[in-house]
Amino acid sequence: MRTNGTKNLAIDGERAPIIRKAFELLATGSYKTDDVLNAVNAMGLRTMRGTPVTPQSFSQMIRNPIYMAWIQSGQNRAKGNFEAIVSEELFAVVQDVLNGRRVPVLHKRVSEDFPLRGFASCAKCNRLLTAGWAQGRGKKYARYWCYNKTCKGVGISREGLEGHFVRLLGMMQPTADLIAKLPDIAESNR
């Protein structure tokens, strides 16, 4: 979030998708907070001063209701008149995971046919995408689509979405520090 010159808050187009991804990763209950922080810093998340986000700042960020468009001052909370980066549902799940109250059940199996199912999210409603085979005229087509039946914000071929994902990965440049930590991160996620 940033001010847009009129002292109103507006979404920062560069940081918002990375912040949303941090919430999504934390909501799974599969990642430690430090691992998510390392990942989003590697994706390019920076402070307004251009430095990597510190653990203390990250902890404050993922507990700040402003990302779901709520402004809080002490015990008072009011709905803001700006767009949310994460849904209230996603924010609540992350708070539960952080507080140890609930760890989501991960019953989804990774599919070789659709590796991004349950990982990539809809650009319109922020729900995770599902995938399957759509029947055409005499042929089946691999597709990803938004799980929210009323949204229909995303409907894309497997080749299209996975191609976008590969191009996105090609733009990322991990830091030497992150590369050095990868074996430890992999070991901790076993």
Between 179 and 1, where is the model more confident? Answer: 179
Given a contact cutoff of 8 angstroms between Cβ atoms, the answer to whether 21 and 35 are in contact is: no
Burial readout 2-38 (b: 16 or more C-beta within 10 A, e: otherwise): eeeeeeebebeeebbbbbbbbbbbbbbbebebebbbb
Question: Poorest-confidence range of 3-7, 125-129, 131-135, 146-150?
Answer: 3-7
Tokens 């497997």 belong to 158
Given a contact cutoff of 8 angstroms between Cβ atoms, the answer to whether 121 and 127 are in contact is: yes
When pLDDT is cut at 50, 70 and 90, the band that residue 14 belongs to is: confident
pLDDT in tens, 41-78: 999 999 889 999 999 999 999 999 998 888 888 888 88
When pLDDT is cut at 50, 70 and 90, the band that residue 189 belongs to is: low
When pLDDT is cut at 50, 70 and 90, the band that residue 3 belongs to is: very low
Q: pTM (2 decimals)?
A: 0.52
Q: Which two tokens stand for residue 56?
A: 């203390």
Percent of the chain beyond pLDDT 90?
A: 28
pLDDT in tens, 128-142: 888 888 888 889 999
Segment 161-184 shows an average pLDDT of: 86
Q: How far is 131 from 118, CA to CA, in rounded Å?
A: 9
Beta-ladder partners of 3: 9
Most distant pair of Cα atoms in the chain: their distance: 62
When pLDDT is cut at 50, 70 and 90, the band that residue 1 belongs to is: low
DSSP annotation of 75:
T
What does the H/E/C string look like for 88-157?
HHHHHHHHHHHCCCCCCCCCCCCCCCCCCCCCCECCCCCCEEEEEEEECCCCEEEEEEECCCCCCCCEEE
pLDDT reported for residue 52: 93
Beta-ladder partners of 71: 78
pLDDT reported for residue 5: 47
